[in-house]
Amino acid sequence: MPVLVVLGGMIYAVSSFLEVLEHDMTHGQLARDLDRATALYKRDPDLLEALRPGLLTFVTPRGVTDGLPENLKPIENSASHEIWLPGADYEYQATRRDIGDHSLYVLLDLTPEERLEKELIGVAWIAGMGALFLAVIVALWLSHVVMRPVRQLATRVSHIRPGEQRPDLRPVTGDRQLNVIVEAFDSVLDRFDAFVAREQAFTEDASHELRTPLATAISSIDLIAHDDDLSAKSRKRLMRARSATTRMHELIESLLLFAREQTDEQYSAMPVSPIVREAIAMQEDMLVGAGKPRPNIVFDARSETEVAAPESMLLSVVNNLLRNAIEHGGAARIDVLLEANQLSIRDHGRGIAPAALSRLFDRRFRGSRSQGQGLGLYLVKRISERFGWQVAVSSTPGEGTCFDLRFG
């Protein structure tokens, strides 16, 4: 748009200049033609016919305008005006000079000048459009040249992966101005790398240190649980400890996985149904041991599905979804359906409020009646994203909630 405004202004300036030039040229030419016509008229009025083509002359008694074209009548002595004559395509420049008792009118045909003006304006438009086109081409070329190092930098930055050696970010052209941006990028990325390395090291070290004592605690709890002399009250407390340590073990396994961030790691495929049955058995055992009412968990494996992921991760996802269904579904029936590439877990409890659905997978988000820490469904979402699974939830207040886990 600004370019078009400039182009229009340039054409207007050219047109105005041509108007001024035409005015000066025609007035000068008309003055010379009037002097020549006056000289010829004084010698012999019949000599006016010898004037050059493009000139019209009228001679009338002074003060008499009969027989003159209407546009000529208002012209006074020594005055000059542009007028139109009937049937003419262009204007005439007309003037009048009184000679004795007569008035001499000389009209200069402006057709050549008007045509020349139009031609020059057309040339100006063509030149302006050509200049505009050339300016666009040059601008595109310059933008390509100027932006090429920036595009190269963007390509190098986009290839940076966590945990991998960073590519050289310096532009191939050695652009000094761009090097300032590159150095700032490098400085920020160095700080990010150091921060991520510290966090990963801490998470991995802490998780490794906790795995062994937790495994020992789980084994010890299982051994104690087989003691026939254990009272019901003690067994209930023991199962609570077993549930807490199991959750902690799953959390640590998840933290270790996220700390590694090896997205290209290959895993062997494994069937899903045995993992689901194991998770159901674990939840039922913990409910029985804790003396809580056990819901009727119905597992329908209509189609076997295999996934490529660590067994502990899939078990953690299924356990968290089952725990959520048990917590919100109570002692009602829970339907677990395994179909081709999809696992659905539906409870028939009180359901989830629509306002809470959008935040259900947020870290530390807890429902109004939740007894957890708000990490279970968050881990489900993170693990699913890690392995390319999709988890969706639908709920109807008063009827229940359904989680759909799609593999691949």
Query: What distance in Å separates the CA atoms of residue 210 and residue 348, rounded to the nearest whole number?
Result: 37
> Is there a single domain that holds both residue 314 and residue 405?
yes
Query: What distance in Å separates the CA atoms of residue 36 and residue 48, rounded to the nearest whole number?
Result: 9
* Domain assignment of residue 131, yes or no: no
Q: Which residues contact 347 (CB under 8 A, 6 or more apart)?
A: 295, 325, 326, 328, 329, 332, 333, 334, 400, 401, 402
* Domain assignment of residue 216, yes or no: yes
pLDDT of residue 5: 60
* Domain assignment of residue 166, yes or no: no
Query: What distance in Å separates the CA atoms of residue 393 and residue 380, rounded to the nearest whole number?
Result: 12
Query: Contact at 8 Å (CB) between 345 and 336?
Result: yes
* Domain assignment of residue 392, yes or no: yes
CATH number at residue 84: 3.30.450
End-of-domain residue from the set 116, 146, 164 = 116
pLDDT of residue 367: 60
* Domain assignment of residue 157, yes or no: no
> Is there a single domain that holds both residue 215 and residue 348?
no
Query: Which value, to the nearest 10 degrees, does the dihedral of the CA atoms of residues 254, 255, 259, 263 take?
Result: 10
DSSP bridge pairs for 93: 82, 108
- What's the token pair of residue 213? 């004592």
End-of-domain residue from the set 235, 265, 295 = 265
How many Cα atoms within 13 Å fall on the side-chain side of residue 202?
A: 6
Phi/psi of residue 31, nearest 5 degrees: -65, -40
- What's the token pair of residue 162? 């966590």
Domain count, the chain: 3
CATH number at residue 195: 1.10.287.130
The residue range of the domain holding 352 is 267-408
> Is there a single domain that holds both residue 303 and residue 219?
no
- What's the token pair of residue 309? 């992921």
What is the β-pairing status of strands 297-301 and 269-271? unpaired
pLDDT of residue 402: 93
> Is there a single domain that holds both residue 257 and residue 278?
no
> Is there a single domain that holds both residue 274 and residue 406?
yes
Query: What distance in Å separates the CA atoms of residue 48 and residue 41, rounded to the nearest whole number?
Result: 6
> Is there a single domain that holds both residue 256 and residue 282?
no
Query: Contact at 8 Å (CB) between 391 and 405?
Result: yes
Query: Contact at 8 Å (CB) between 152 and 171?
Result: yes
* Domain assignment of residue 84, yes or no: yes
CATH number at residue 309: 3.30.565.10
What is the β-pairing status of strands 342-347 and 390-396? unpaired
DSSP bridge pairs for 83: 92
> Is there a single domain that holds both residue 260 and residue 275?
no
End-of-domain residue from the set 100, 116, 132 = 116
> Is there a single domain that holds both residue 251 and residue 309?
no
Q: Which helix (H) or strand (E) holds 92?
A: strand 92-99
The pTM assigned to this predicted structure is: 0.51
Q: Which helix (H) or strand (E) holds 300?
A: strand 297-301
* Domain assignment of residue 196, yes or no: yes
**Per-residue pLDDT tens digits of the chain, which is 408 residues long:** 555 565 566 665 656 655 656 666 677 777 777 778 777 777 777 777 667 777 777 888 888 878 788 777 788 887 777 777 777 766 777 888 888 888 888 887 777 777 777 777 788 788 878 888 888 898 888 888 778 777 777 777 777 776 666 666 665 556 677 777 777 777 887 887 787 777 777 777 776 677 778 778 888 888 887 777 778 778 777 777 877 787 777 777 776 776 665 555 678 899 999 999 988 888 887 777 667 777 888 999 998 899 998 888 898 899 999 988 888 777 678 999 999 899 999 998 888 888 788 888 887 676 655 555 567 888 889 889 888 999 999 988 888 899 999 997
> Is there a single domain that holds both residue 330 and residue 232?
no
> Is there a single domain that holds both residue 272 and residue 211?
no
- What's the token pair of residue 118? 């139009």
pLDDT of residue 249: 77
> Is there a single domain that holds both residue 327 and residue 238?
no
Q: Which residues contact 88 (CB under 8 A, 6 or more apart)?
A: none
> Is there a single domain that holds both residue 77 and residue 202?
no
pLDDT of residue 274: 93
The sign of the torsion formed by the CA atoms of 280, 281, 282, 286 equals positive
* Domain assignment of residue 336, yes or no: yes
